[in-house]
Amino acid sequence: MRTAIFLSARHKATRLPGKLLLEIAGRPALEHLIARLKTAGEPDLLILTTSTHAADDVLVEVAGRNAVPAFRGSEDDKLDRYRQAASAHDVEFAAVVDGDDLFCAPEYVDRAIQAYRRTGADYVTARGLPVGAACFGVSARALERVCALKAETETEVWGGYFTDTGLFEAVYVEAEPDVRRPEYRMTLDYPEDLAFFRAVFERLHAPGSAFTLRDIVALLDAHPEIVDVNREAARWYEAHLKRAAPVRLGTVP
């Protein structure tokens, strides 16, 4: 069984333009995420999955500088992009990580893949982690099926196809108590989020070493003022999600 991390990224952000290339602790944000994901032990591959749009050339360049291959597909249909990437790289199960989730936890990427090996589920993610710390694992088989069924060609928000339709088996990895903080927001969408990440890096980053999710949570527990930096962003993002395209499926055989 071949498994991969699909690092899903586009250079089209409007709420925080150019966010993946913004500097944090002397490096573009995307490079920090790549370095973190490379510490996962289970995946066979780490692949940048982006679009064919010329604006995304710069992301492919960043990936190349960090020895990460790129797959380029649909601009708006993430699910079709992942389906094609899985086919092109002979991947049976992919842990999808959004490019703005800079603190995605490699150990929970590993656990998602392990859960797939145990269960063969269509979709695997973690429950109870801070927002942005979990990956979203999906099998190639499920990607083929959902792409054959779905009525939408814009799939920016896609988890509901696997959790809300009753057509797929979803399995959840539970967060351990010391990192179970679903109220903490760790994703890069707004200027306040950038300030949050810079505050954490300022306190934990050291060249040549990696800090863990436990380190991050311990810092936030001890310094609630850092959590407050982007607390309102969670409400703004919830409003954004409500405006996203609904999950719609065609005729189910």
pLDDT tens column, 131-153: 999 999 999 999 999 999 999 99
pLDDT classification of 245: cutoffs 50, 70, 90 = low
pLDDT at 234: 82
Instruction: Give the C-alpha separation, 61 to 67, whole Å.
Output: 10
Does residue 7 carry a pLDDT above 70?
yes
Confidence of residue 244 (pLDDT cuts 50, 70, 90): low
* Helix H or strand E segment including 51: strand 45-51
Give the C-alpha separation, 152 to 154, whole Å: 6
pLDDT at 240: 63
Q: Is residue 124 part of a domain?
A: yes
Q: What average pLDDT does this structure show over 151-178?
A: 96
Residues 7 and 45 sit within 8 Å (Cβ to Cβ): no
> What is the number of domains present in the chain?
1
Tally of residues, the chain: 253
Residue, of 125 and 208, whose pLDDT is higher: 125
CB 51 within 8 A of CB 74: yes
Query: What is the rounded CA–CA span in Å between residue 132 and residue 234?
Result: 11
Given pLDDT bands bounded at 50, 70 and 90, which one contains residue 243?
Answer: low
As a whole number of angstroms, the distance between CA 152 and CA 148 comes to 11
* Residue 14 confidence (pLDDT): 87
| CATH label of the domain that carries residue 108 | 3.90.550.10
Q: Residue 45: which region, alpha, beta or left (left: phi > 0; alpha: psi -120 to 50)?
A: beta
Global pTM reads: 0.95
Domain assignment present for 253? no
Residue range(s) defining the domain that contains residue 38? 3-242
- Whether residue 250 is contained in a domain is answered as no
Residue 249 lies in a domain: no
251 in any annotated domain: no
Domain annotation covers residue 75:
yes
**162 Cβ contact list (under 8 Å, min separation 6):** 122, 123, 138, 142, 146, 168, 170
Residue 38 lies in a domain: yes
Residue 114 lies in a domain: yes
